[in-house]
Chain A
Amino acid sequence: MNSPLLETSSDAPTPAPVVISAKDVSKRFVVRKDNALKERLVTMGKLGRQHRQEFWALRDIDITIEAGTTVGLIGHNGSGKSTLLKVIGGIIQPTTGTVSRRGRMAALLELGAGFHPDLTGRENVFLNASILGLTRKETEDRFDDILSFSGIGDFIDTQVKFYSSGMYVRLAFSVAVHTEPDVLLVDEVLAVGDEAFQRKCLDKIRSFQEEGRTIILVSHSLGQVTELCDRAILLNRGEIEFDGNAHQAVTAFRNILEERRVEEAAAASPDVVVHEGHVLGATVHAVGKAIGDPVLPGDDLRIVMTFDHDDKLNDWIGALQIDNASGQVVYGTKNSLMDVRLPPLSGPVSLEYIIHNVTFGSGKYFVNASLLDSALRHVHDMPQACTFNVPFYPLATGTVHAEPTLRVLDAAAHQASAV
């Protein structure tokens, strides 16, 4: 498969125009705890202030997005991703700052795309397509495509309130991608589709990329983000923490998540000192080579991880996991799988894992080290504790290395020989 990302950078005869530009965008929400007239009157004036809670969901967001790019928006729950997408879509107004845009826009914001529950799928398709800017005639022309892409078949004449959430999203996505948008906003909707449909959507997104459409994607699937996006924006508590290369954004995000997990764990049980256990560090190299040297297929991989515990931890587990650059798990093991019981952890201990005869495909790999207790709860994780590289192998792609050979067979002869 040829990568649409490469095409973007190499041969772009027309410079990509800016399609979205947000300047100093901030959004403040005021949350009131009273919604009825009586309460509102009672709590008017000074008292009313106490019943209001102000909250900045977005702060000083500055972004410029050129046509043809696919941008991932990542961040923890409540970091403002959906809010930013809604501001870009013009659905909510920013408190300060401006958003400018050009071109036709279609938005798929959190579950559902504004269907009317009492109407049938067919009626909703027309309604929705009209909202997204298609005339009746255009919708009629595309109706069959929309229906076949959605794959919901005869259910098209059923009221959408009887749809499953996957069917709902299938239809919504199908309508949105058939309205010829220049800019497509997608907020986590793909997650509810089944695997076949997700694949179809990703393919559609890829052809959108080729056609120079712009896609802004909110996703918690970091693998998807690194795979699809040329650029990722990491939001943290309403501010842009990182904006740039998708892999780097994902790495930065993992660090934030780990920090938060630690904070939350500490907040959840303040009496107990949670972080008695630590992963102190890890190193990786091929046996017989130095740290940092490329790892070749057939090498034995040596991973040394150091753990510590302030008190004493019986029955502990030191786990390792190897991820590829897009966040996919490639390999993982731990002593419990290997039926090895470790002596109680009460001071620094290093474990040496040797992984024999590895055959990783080319690319960069990350080793995550984890300390688990006997119930498999994570006591401490060190994501991307160390990394190694497998040199470029021109004959194949993927996460597994294997040598290919090729022969052209005469089909008739082949069939005859197979029988």
Chain B
Amino acid sequence: MTASKDSPDARTARFRRLASVPLDTIGSRSRPLAGAWTSIREIGDQKEMLGLLVRRDLKARYKDSALGFLWSLIRPITQLIIYYVVVGKFLGAARGIPDFAIYIFTGLTAYTLFSEIVASSTASIIGNAGLIKKIYLPREIFPLASVGSASFNFLIQLAILVVAAVVVGSQPLSLDLLYFFPSVMVLLVYATALGLLMSALNVYLRDVQYLIEVALMVLMWASPIVYTWSMVRDILGNGILLNIYTSNPITLSVLGFQQAFWTAGEGTPFPDNLLLRLAVTLVVGVVLLFVSQRVFSRLQGNFAQEL
């Protein structure tokens, strides 16, 4: 054996190196702030892993299909066509809303990002049971990988949206485009917070998964995606109820998206101070994300045995 010649050296070198690193206690619980920081660092150390998991999610999804990746294009395009033809033309909703197909697709693009993150994160821990039971990894990376793959699909859909907007003739290049950034941040932060929390709860209570399905359906209709904000205002009036409706982070983001991409709706009424509201919502969202991560890290200790 060739290795045996230099092995006493290898052995000594290994012992020296090991002796020089401190013994660390695994799974020790620490104070919340320091704990959050440690978690972030741990996740940071696993960037490459995160990338691989995202790729795995995307690859595995269309693995055995002939068209493969094309399906991530076909789905949203079909959706766009259906909404344009059926809802817009047949049902006549288009009469009230200019460029209805773009309008609806804008809202859907925003909402799909949110719902896909939440739904796939919720299932992510259970879906990766095989890995979690075998290997220690910061478990946050599984919901985060769902965020990653949902974001990838979102980018595709966004590209279609921009192309469609240009084709239809509205010029998307304006300062309003800046609304996109806070809106997408709000969506990401809230979806991640909710997804983290639900993925952990789902391990202990499988009903969470179904509950989330229902909640996502309700949330979709609670935001101005297929109808406009002004329709809601006409019914609720300008009081507290409208304020509550508008404060829904998803509603705010959807409105932000529409500001950015639905240029045909220039004159339609939008809530005041949309940017400010988005900013406040974002700050609240970051706090929620922190809380949710803390809860997650509390619950994750027992994942391997509960799965």
Chain A residues engaging chain B, CB cutoff 8 angstroms: 7, 11, 13-19, 21, 29, 35-37, 40, 67-68, 86, 89-94, 98-103, 107, 109-110, 112-116, 118-119, 123, 126-127, 130-132, 135-136, 159, 182, 207, 210-213
Contacts and interface: CB of A to CB of B under 8 A. Distances in A.
Contacts of A29: 305
Contacts of A86: 304
B4 interface: yes
A192 B272 CA distance: 67
A119 B57 CA distance: 10
A308 B135 CA distance: 53
Contacts of A113: 134-135
B221 interface: no
Contact of A92 (B4, B24, B207, B302): B302
Contacts of B130: 112, 114-116
B63 interface: yes
Contacts of B49: 130-131
A100 B26 contact: yes
A117 to B, nearest CB: 8
A126 B59 CA distance: 14
Q: Report, nearest first, the 3 A-B pairs whose CB atoms are least far apart.
A: A212-B11, A37-B207, A114-B131
Contacts of A213: 14
A131 B135 contact: yes
Given A93-B27, A116-B56, A14 B19 contact: yes
6 contacts: A15-B15, A35-B205, A89-B136, A99-B26, A107-B134, A182-B18
Contacts of A90: 26-27, 136
Nearest to A36: B207
Contacts of B11: 68, 210-212
Contact of B206 (A13, A35, A89, A132): A35
Interface residues of B, number: 45
B3 interface: yes
B152 to A, nearest CB: 17
Nearest to A83: B305
Given A126-B52, A127-B52, A211 B7 contact: yes
A259 to B, nearest CB: 29
B15 A67 contact: yes
B27 A123 contact: no
Given A89-B136, A99-B26, A102-B18, 20 more contacts: A14-B12, A14-B19, A17-B19, A29-B305, A37-B205, A40-B205, A68-B14, A89-B135, A93-B302, A101-B23, A102-B21, A109-B135, A110-B134, A119-B63, A127-B52, A130-B48, A210-B3, A210-B7, A211-B7, A212-B11
Nearest to A88: B26
B238 interface: no
B239 interface: no
A119 B302 contact: no
Contacts of A19: 18
A153 to B, nearest CB: 22
Contact of A101 (B24, B133, B135): B24
B15 to A, nearest CB: 4
A116 B134 CA distance: 12
Nearest to B15: A14
**Majority DSSP secondary structure for residues of B touching A:** helix
B28 A67 contact: no
A213 B208 CA distance: 44
Interface string B5-40: 001101110111011011111111000000000000
B217 interface: no
A268 to B, nearest CB: 30
Contacts of B23: 18, 21, 100-102
A152 to B, nearest CB: 19
A91 B25 contact: no
A100 B14 contact: no
A28 to B, nearest CB: 10
Given A91-B304, A212-B11, A127 B18 contact: no
B301 interface: yes
A68 B53 CA distance: 34
A98 B25 contact: yes
Contact of B25 (A89, A100, A115, A131): A100
A335 B42 CA distance: 66
A67 B14 contact: yes
A389 to B, nearest CB: 31
Contacts of A68: 11, 14-15
A37 B210 CA distance: 11
B11 to A, nearest CB: 3
Contact of B135 (A35, A100, A107, A123): A107
B66 interface: no
Given A14-B16, A131-B49, A92 B26 contact: no
Nearest to A116: B56
A86 B206 CA distance: 24
A189 to B, nearest CB: 11
B60 interface: yes
B56 A207 contact: no
B167 interface: no
B27 A210 contact: no
A131 B60 contact: no
A113 to B, nearest CB: 6
B56 A67 contact: no
> Which of B19, B22, B134, B304 has the largest count of A CB atoms less than 10 A from its CB?
B134
A14 B56 CA distance: 44
A131 B137 contact: yes
Contacts of A212: 7, 10-12, 14-15
A14 to B, nearest CB: 4
